[in-house]
Amino acid sequence: MTDYHIRSLFFDDRTAIDEAAHLLTIAFAEHWPGAWPTHAEALAEVHTMLTPGYICRAACDAAGHVLGWVGGEAQYDGHVWELHPLAVHPAVQRRGIGRALVADFEAQVAQRGGVTILLGTDDEAGMTTLGGANLYPHVWKHIANVHNLRGHPYTFYEKCGFVIVGVIPDANGLGKPDILMAKRVQQTNV
């Protein structure tokens, strides 16, 4: 799908902001229903991403409707940016929009002098071999042997160049870890 463009969202984009919030509720509903269960909570998340110091970019179709969007904030004095959230409308997933939004986010981070992008991708539904497991005391052994069981997004991020850099066991309750991933976006002399 190539009939879309990526642009920044702004506070006066009321329709686009509302559509972006709606995307959060529907894109996460199946596997992460507690993420943004109401439109009001999703709207608050979009508004947070619109404040100074954040990145908020949307993929819009020719009519200006939001097909997907990505947000993020600076951490570690701007060296690291957290990518959060990324949402694509379920009707247009697997058409390259998510990958394009991630690439655009990387470019935005690089323009701001960021070196690394960090993200967390929860497994609350046993979608990987890390979910539903007691990861202690050999956390890294579990990470080294991780497998995707049911379409968990960590493999999407791997295809975008991210690697697993850690796991927070039980981040969302017993057996519900947060998988931490990162990617360098600027070349360094290290």
Claim to verify: residue 82 and residue 41 sit in the same structural domain: yes
For 190, the 3-state DSSP assignment is: coil
How many domains are there within the chain?
2
Could you read off the pLDDT of 19-62 as tens digits, one per residue?
999 999 999 988 888 899 999 999 999 999 999 999 999 999 99
Claim to verify: residue 58 and residue 138 sit in the same structural domain: no
Weakest-pLDDT range from 21-25, 94-98, 166-170, 185-189: 185-189
Task: Indicate the residue type of 76.
Answer: Y
What is the distance of C-alpha 189 from the center of its chain? 28
| Residue-wise DSSP of 99-132 | HHHHHHHHHHHHHTT--EEEEEEE--SS-BTTTT
For 95, the 3-state DSSP assignment is: coil
Taking Cα atoms as reference points, which of 177, 164, 180 lies closest to residue 134?
177
Final residue of a structural domain among 81, 114, 147: 114
Q: Residue 96, exposed/middle/buried by CB under 10 A (0-12, 13-18, 19+)? A: middle
Return the CATH number at 175: 3.40.630.30
Residue 72, domain extent: 1-114
- Per-residue pLDDT band for 11 (boundaries 50, 70, 90) equals very high
